[in-house]
Amino acid sequence: MKEIVVLSGKGGVGKSSLTAAVGYLLAEKYSIVLADTDVDAPNLHLVLGAELESTHPVSASDKAFIDYDICSRCMQCVDVCRFSSIIGEDEPIIISYSCEGCGACSLVCPLEAISIEPVENGKLNILHSGLIRVVSGELAVGASSSGRLVDVVKRRAGEVAELNGSDLLLTDGPPGIGCPVIASLKGVDYVVLVTEPTPSALSDLKRVYEVIRFFKVAAGVVLNRADMHEGSRQAVFTFLQENDLDLLVEIPYDPLLPEALARGALAVTMYPEAPSSVALRQLSTSLSDLVAGESEIR
């Protein structure tokens, strides 16, 4: 089974709608599972109109808890917390939302009054859209450890894909360049980087590419809304050339695409002849060759 992740370095450049469209098109030929690891704002299932099969609580973070019946109020734990998550002058109080569960306070406590326990910080949803299975992570509001939740989603999606005998696990990756993105890269064969011709999108592309290059994962670039600005389009080409990065496809700005999304449908199904649909079909053909091993992954 091949594993491809779609990243952009930030939100708003069309990553999820591209993942949904390409997933739909690849499912015409392959058995695929989609994973949504944008756990702060999962919306792949909405773009696909997927139906919920089951939901499962996830404990992907640990927090400190004080047993006040044992605590002597010595306040040693306050000083040791690097995250300033224990406050109080006469009695230690743990600020749960900022506690990273590192365990330092529990180590320093002379009375073993502090325990580190797993807490529920998100959900894992299993959905389907036609024959496509979707595994989606959803971080609880105000919860931390999104990187660990991404890892949980990826592992579960991998299990579902294996169980189904799938050819491809296609992942809608998280935005940014931090821990969740790094977690999303684990074990992947190829990264599709989505950008658009604006200076800010190019800056985001450069930053996320640094991460990908560090982990030595093969990647190619999709230029979305490619005809928005010629100067910025050329700037993207220059970056690709300097880094020997493949341009997978240019998707023109196409008002039919957001119109279909607003109607809760994919443009590739609603308007198959639209310029954006033609480009997305071209992208899915390139990725199909990668899945089949008929083109080189570099």
Kindly report the backbone phi and psi dihedral angles of residue 170, in degrees, each rounded to the nearest multiple of 5, phi listed first. Answer: -110, 125
Q: Judged by CB under 6 A, which of 66, 124, 205, 249 binds ligand SF4?
A: 66
- The kind and range of the H/E element at 172 are strand 168-172
CA–CA separation, 146 vs 163, rounded Å?
A: 26
Structure-token pair, residue 249: 């496809």
Shortest Å distance, C-beta 62 to ligand SF4: 7
**What DSSP line would sit under 85-153, residue for residue?**
-EE-SSS-EE-GGG-----HHHHH-TT--EEEEEE--EEEEEEEETTEEEEEEEEPTT---HHHHHHHH
Q: For 277-295, b where at least 16 C-beta lie within 10 A, e where not — what string?
A: bbbbbebbebbbebbeeee
- The kind and range of the H/E element at 34 are strand 32-36
Q: Judged by CB under 6 A, which of 43, 59, 65, 100 binds ligand SF4?
A: 100
Residue whose CB is less far from ligand SF4, 64 or 193: 64
**C-beta separation of 153 from 35 below 8 A:** yes
> If binding is defined by CB under 6 A, does position 111 make contact with ligand SF4?
yes
Shortest Å distance, C-beta 61 to ligand SF4: 10
Structure-token pair, residue 181: 């993105």
Q: Which stretch binds ligand SF4 (CB under 6 A): 31-39, 50-58, 80-88, 147-155?
A: 80-88
**C-beta separation of 134 from 20 below 8 A:** no
Q: Which stretch binds ligand SF4 (CB under 6 A): 67-75, 187-195, 249-257, 285-293?
A: 67-75
Residue whose CB is less far from ligand SF4, 54 or 84: 84
Q: Which stretch binds ligand SF4 (CB under 6 A): 52-60, 74-82, 137-145, 220-228?
A: 74-82
**C-beta separation of 121 from 144 below 8 A:** yes
> If binding is defined by CB under 6 A, does position 145 make contact with ligand SF4?
no
Q: Which stretch binds ligand SF4 (CB under 6 A): 76-84, 133-141, 176-184, 216-224?
A: 76-84
Contact partners, residue 198, CB within 8 Å, separation at least 6: 228, 229, 232
Q: Judged by CB under 6 A, which of 64, 161, 169, 261 binds ligand SF4?
A: 64
> If binding is defined by CB under 6 A, does position 99 make contact with ligand SF4?
yes
How deeply is 11 buried, as exposed, middle or buried, from its count of CB atoms within 10 A (0-12, 13-18, 19+)?
A: middle
Shortest Å distance, C-beta 207 to ligand SF4: 28
Q: Judged by CB under 6 A, which of 5, 22, 50, 86 binds ligand SF4?
A: 86
> If binding is defined by CB under 6 A, does position 143 make contact with ligand SF4?
no
- Report residue 17 CA to chain centroid gap: 13
Q: Judged by CB under 6 A, which of 9, 14, 42, 92 binds ligand SF4?
A: 92
Shortest Å distance, C-beta 76 to ligand SF4: 4
Residue whose CB is less far from ligand SF4, 113 or 188: 113
Binding mask 113-132 for ligand SF4 (x = CB under 6 A): xx-x----------------
Length of the chain: 298
Q: Which stretch binds ligand SF4 (CB under 6 A): 8-16, 19-27, 112-120, 286-294?
A: 112-120
Residues in the site for ligand SF4, rule: CB under 6 A?
64, 66, 71-77, 80-81, 83, 85-86, 92, 94, 99-105, 109, 111, 113-114, 116
